[in-house]
């Protein structure tokens, strides 16, 4: 589907849900776009708002931050340009202008014509690996690999001289950190974008040094070749120190601010008696945010329920540390883009001790104590862990992880 058709269909979806001021809550838009044949993740955007912001001349966004802990986003078509959408083809999307968005850095830096096809190509080149969760979406078949590419690029952007530009300034490249079947590194190659006002670089393809056209171009223009991303200084950082005191957790943040991440059946068992549970799957953003704010307030006001949830988490953490003591591989290293650092994941079982529901993110401090920063759904945990290496684990296993396609990975 060409960009002009994508834009026209997107504006049609936004207009179908707009309020009196022309603004559309983004909550239902992802599904409506999918029904219209547009999968923004397959286009190379992990977040819906990033996709919409790639059409700044045609779509505007605003964020409501007045009442909720997370921004509520709205979008509308720019009516002054609406008459042009059918006659002015969009041949390339402009660079996205945002800061500190790890998932968006690659789109801001380079233009990739068909992101989904590029990811599919990388999957075929790389050594065999499962790059999707329990259920595969044909419109976005390799979500783990797509996120791996985004986060790897983000990490490289934080490391000196890891994003290499040729001496001529005509080409750029980076090491994907992946290898082919005979363990040769795979690189991403770019050339200077010829379209002013857009991203600085244009994606050419993935290659191995010296192999085929792009590989020969890479070898001819880069010496030394780009280095892979590096995530730790001391291998000991990858092992959880079972001799350390039990991690210190911020219970208010983990329980109250992240109550939406808990399994529904766990919430059903531990909800305050005066709170009525609702199905949030089709709720608009504002309504969902208000619902979870009310649930968090109800739990905070019910000290008995708050203690019950806290004690269950403590029991689960105790069991998790016992598992680490028995098998050091239980604690899984991961790169945490939000903090740009290395953390260790611990499994949490909230209902059945044999079923892992969430992952606790822990960080070793200078004092030798661990801090428990937050909890993550298992798909987010897997994506972050995969940056360092493919998890060798009995609890964080891709084919067993259920995931929601529209999930966002902000803390």
Pair (273, 316) in one structural domain: yes
Residue 227 lies in a domain: no
Greater confidence, 63 or 334?
A: 334
Pair (356, 256) in one structural domain: yes
Partners of 347 in beta bridges:
359
| Encoded tokens for 168 | 């001529």
Pair (277, 199) in one structural domain: no
Pair (146, 254) in one structural domain: no
| Encoded tokens for 410 | 């902000």
Q: Which domain holds residue 135?
A: 105-221
Q: Are 387 and 337 in contact (CB under 8 A)?
A: no
pLDDT of 94 above 90: no
Cis peptide, bond prior to residue 392, ω within 30 of zero: no
Residue 20 lies in a domain: yes
The pLDDT assigned to 144 comes to 95
Query: By C-alpha distance, which of 189, 149, 186 is closest to 45?
Result: 149
Residue 90 lies in a domain: no
pLDDT in tens, 155-196: 999 898 899 999 899 999 999 999 999 999 999 999 999 887
| Encoded tokens for 290 | 């208000």
| Encoded tokens for 31 | 């599904």
Pair (392, 287) in one structural domain: yes
pLDDT in tens, 353-375: 999 999 999 999 889 899 998 99
H runs (alpha helix) in 237-346: 251, 264-270, 285-301, 303-326
Pair (142, 19) in one structural domain: no
The residue out of 221, 248, 281 marking a domain boundary is: 221
Pair (168, 63) in one structural domain: no
Pair (254, 396) in one structural domain: yes
pLDDT in tens, 259-305: 999 999 999 999 998 899 998 887 877 788 889 999 999 999 999 99
Residue 96 lies in a domain: no
Into how many domains does the chain fold? 3
Residue 99 lies in a domain: no
| Encoded tokens for 72 | 């509520």
Residue 405 lies in a domain: no
| Encoded tokens for 289 | 């945010």
Pair (251, 391) in one structural domain: yes
- Average pLDDT in the 337-342 region? 81
The pLDDT assigned to 79 comes to 64
Pair (60, 126) in one structural domain: no
SS3 301: helix
Q: Domain containing 70 — which CATH number?
A: 3.30.420.610
pLDDT of 41 above 70: yes
Pair (77, 187) in one structural domain: no
Pairing between β-strand 358-364 and β-strand 164-165 as defined by DSSP bridges: unpaired
Phi first, then psi: what are they for 166, rounded to 5°? -65, 160
The pLDDT assigned to 80 comes to 40
Residue 358 lies in a domain: yes
CB proximity list for 370: less than 8 A, separation 6 or greater: 240, 241, 244, 245, 246, 247, 248, 344, 362, 363, 364
302-306 contacts, C-beta under 8 A, 24 or more apart:
302/272, 302/273, 305/270, 305/271, 305/272, 306/255
Q: How many angstroms separate the CA atoms of 8 and 4, rounded?
A: 6
Pair (396, 247) in one structural domain: yes
Residue 409 lies in a domain: no
| Encoded tokens for 77 | 């078509």
Low-confidence winner among 62-71, 169-178, 214-223, 310-319 (lowest mean pLDDT) = 62-71
> CA-CA distances (angstroms) from residue 247 to 313, 319, 360, 363, 379?
12, 13, 10, 9, 23
Pairing between β-strand 370-376 and β-strand 248-249 as defined by DSSP bridges: parallel
């Amino acid at each position: 589907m060409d960009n002009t058709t994508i834009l026209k269909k997107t504006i049609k979806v936004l207009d179908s849900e707009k309020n009196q001021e022309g603004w559309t809550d983004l909550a239902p838009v992802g599904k409506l776009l999918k029904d219209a044949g547009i999968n923004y993740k397959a286009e190379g955007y992990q977040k819906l708002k990033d996709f919409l912001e790639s059409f700044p001349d045609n779509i505007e966004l605003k964020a409501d931050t007045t009442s909720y802990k997370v921004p509520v986003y709205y979008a509308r078509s720019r009516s002054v340009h609406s008459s042009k959408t059918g006659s002015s083809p969009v041949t390339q999307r402009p660079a996205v202008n945002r800061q500190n968005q790890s998932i968006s850095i690659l789109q801001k830096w380079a233009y990739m014509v068909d992101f989904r096809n590029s990811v599919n190509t990388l999957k075929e080149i790389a050594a065999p690996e499962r790059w999707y969760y329990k259920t595969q979406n044909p419109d976005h078949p390799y979500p783990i690999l797509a996120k791996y590419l985004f986060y790897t690029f983000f990490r490289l952007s934080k490391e000196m001289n890891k994003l290499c530009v040729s001496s001529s300034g005509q080409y750029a490249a980076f090491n994907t950190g992946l290898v082919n079947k005979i363990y040769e590194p795979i690189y991403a190659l770019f050339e200077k974008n010829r379209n002013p006002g857009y991203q600085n670089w244009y994606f050419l393809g993935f290659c191995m040094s010296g192999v085929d056209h792009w590989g020969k171009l890479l070898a001819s223009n880069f010496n030394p070749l780009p280095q892979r991303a590096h995530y730790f200084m001391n291998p000991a950082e990858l092992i959880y120190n079972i001799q350390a005191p039990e991690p210190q957790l911020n219970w208010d943040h983990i329980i109250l601010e992240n109550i939406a991440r808990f399994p529904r059946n766990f919430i059903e068992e531990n909800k305050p008696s005066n709170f009525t549970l609702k199905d949030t799957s089709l709720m608009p953003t504002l309504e969902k945010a208000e619902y979870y704010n009310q649930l968090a307030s109800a739990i905070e006001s019910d000290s008995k329920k708050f203690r019950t949830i806290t004690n269950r988490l403590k029991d689960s953490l105790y069991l998790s540390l016992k598992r680490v003591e028995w098998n050091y591989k239980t604690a899984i290293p991961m790169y945490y883009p939000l903090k740009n650092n290395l953390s260790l994941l611990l499994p949490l079982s909230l209902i059945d001790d044999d079923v892992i529901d969430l992952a606790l993110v822990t960080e070793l401090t200078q004092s030798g104590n661990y801090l428990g920063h937050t909890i993550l759904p298992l798909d987010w945990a897997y994506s972050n862990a995969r940056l360092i290496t493919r998890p060798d684990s009995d609890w964080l296993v891709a084919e067993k992880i259920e995931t929601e396609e529209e999930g966002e990975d902000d803390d």
